[in-house]
Amino acid sequence: MTQKNQTLGEFIIDNQSSFQYSSGELSKLINAIRLAAKVVNHQVNKAGLVDILGAAGDTNVQGEDQQKLDVFANDKFIQTLRNREIVCGIASEEEDSFITINSNDKKHQNKYVVLIDPLDGSSNVDVNVSVGTIFSIYRRITPVGTPVTLEDFLQPGNKQVAAGYVVYGTSTMLVYTTGDGVNGFTLNPALGTFYLSHPNMQFPETGKIYSVNEGNYVHFHQGVKDYIKYCQQEEGDRPYTSRYIGSLVSDFHRNMIKGGIYMYPKSSVTESGKLRLLYECNPMAFLAEQANGLARGGRNRIMDIQPTELHQRVPFFCGSRKMVEKLQEFLDKYH
């Protein structure tokens, strides 16, 4: 039974039976993510006091400048998941390829792979704006006892068994789903424990917030431009309020609580979109749908897209159901 102020550990145990693969491995996996998140949270919170701010001097596989905290968070999550010996493979937005985990005593017997964006919105850390971690979990599809292959990671989002994010903000929250609703846990820093603070999180049916980088407006396709103008018109409950943080976790989290729509469309500059299907869009789409919202990649449901590469980019629209449906009407006019 869901009870507010349960610890995350208690919640996992109490609700394990609602998960179709209740072997205990997934519970250990969520606990490993919880542990790594606490370590990263500690480092984020003291970022101004230690030499962890700024660029690391390298670029990731997407050609983006890596921040020092990107590297730290990536190493910490990989190290924690590897040491717990509960996954058979990891793919990270910061790594060129996937990592095969061969547990010493299990010889590729573990059943889960994890895909992770270790520090979403990391360029915001220097200016003290909220950042986050996004994770996605699948059961492997290659035979147990053999090393994982690319096939295990290139699964459509509808095959996810769990997904979630951690937002490192004024308070630190871990929000996740195993396909049975969305629940949020807030970290008590004095005790180092996550407590259930937001049970059964739901997007309002509609909202008054639209989140998009309007600096790219001139490059957007016409359907998106028309919808933005619709949001700005003075009619009924409009105009809507424009709120864009530039950290997907933070924008998504706010919109789920208050009601709104997040948009990162393709454009004449980024024809495939900017966000990564496997590390950002699929896990957020799973959360959105479990919280009574919608997530689209243009005309398609995000979680029905068959991935073709680890770092594939797609356009992404998600949020309150009626707002995404209205956007879809504008997009459909140009197809």
| 193 and 289 housed in the same domain | no
Is the residue at 1 inside a domain?
no
Report the CATH number at residue 103. 3.30.540.10
The pLDDT value given to residue 48: 52
Which residue positions form the known binding site for substrate?
A: 120-123, 213, 244, 274
Average the pLDDT over each of 11-25, 80-94, 303-317 and give the range with the smallest value: 11-25
| 134 and 14 housed in the same domain | yes
| 40 and 185 housed in the same domain | yes
Which residue positions form the known binding site for Mg(2+)?
A: 93, 117, 119-120, 280
| 185 and 80 housed in the same domain | yes
| 147 and 25 housed in the same domain | yes
- Domain's final residue, options 150, 169, 198: 198
Mean pLDDT of the chain: 89
Which residue positions form the known binding site?
A: 93, 117, 119-123, 213, 244, 274, 280
Is the residue at 2 inside a domain?
no
- Domain's final residue, options 176, 198, 220: 198
| 242 and 98 housed in the same domain | no
Residue 228: which domain range? 209-332
The pLDDT value given to residue 26: 80
Q: Is the pLDDT of residue 56 over 70?
A: no
Report the percentage of the chain scoring pLDDT > 70.
89
Report the CATH number at residue 274. 3.40.190.80
Is the residue at 238 inside a domain?
yes
208-221 tens-digit pLDDT: 999 999 999 999 99
| 23 and 110 housed in the same domain | yes
| 189 and 217 housed in the same domain | no
The tally of domains found in the chain comes to 2
Q: Is 199 exposed, middle or buried (CB count within 10 Å of its CB: 0-12, 13-18, 19+)?
A: middle
| 16 and 148 housed in the same domain | yes
Could you give the CA distance from residue 304 to residue 159 in angstroms, rounded to a whole number?
Answer: 9
Is the residue at 26 inside a domain?
yes
What HEC string does the chain produce? CCCCCCEHHHHHHHCHHHCCCCCCHHHHHHHHHHHHHHHHHHHHHCCCCCCCCCEEEEECCCCCEEEHHHHHHHHHHHHHHHHHCCCCEEEECCCCCCEECCCCCCCCCCCEEEEEEEEECHHHHHHCCCEEEEEEEEECCCCCCCCCCHHHHCCCHHHEEEEEEEEECCCEEEEEECCCCEEEEEEECCCCEEEEEECCCCCCCCCCEEECCHHHHHHECHHHHHHHHHHHCCCCCCCCEECCCCCHHHHHHHHHHHCEEEEECCECCCCCCCEEHHHHHHHHHHHHHHCCEEEECCCCEHHHCCCCCCCCEECEEEEEHHHHHHHHHHHHCCC
| 53 and 98 housed in the same domain | yes
The pLDDT value given to residue 52: 45
Cα angle 86, 88, 94; round to 5? 105
Is the residue at 22 inside a domain?
yes
Could you give the CA distance from residue 73 to residue 38 in angstroms, rounded to a whole number?
Answer: 11
- Domain's final residue, options 198, 230, 262: 198
Could you give the CA distance from residue 22 to residue 213 in angstroms, rounded to a whole number?
Answer: 41
| 226 and 264 housed in the same domain | yes
| 239 and 191 housed in the same domain | no
Could you give the CA distance from residue 299 to residue 301 in angstroms, rounded to a whole number?
Answer: 7
Across 40-54, 117-131, 265-279, the highest mean pLDDT is recorded for 265-279
Average the pLDDT over each of 72-76, 133-137, 220-224 and give the range with the smallest value: 72-76
Could you give the CA distance from residue 67 to residue 50 in angstroms, rounded to a whole number?
Answer: 14
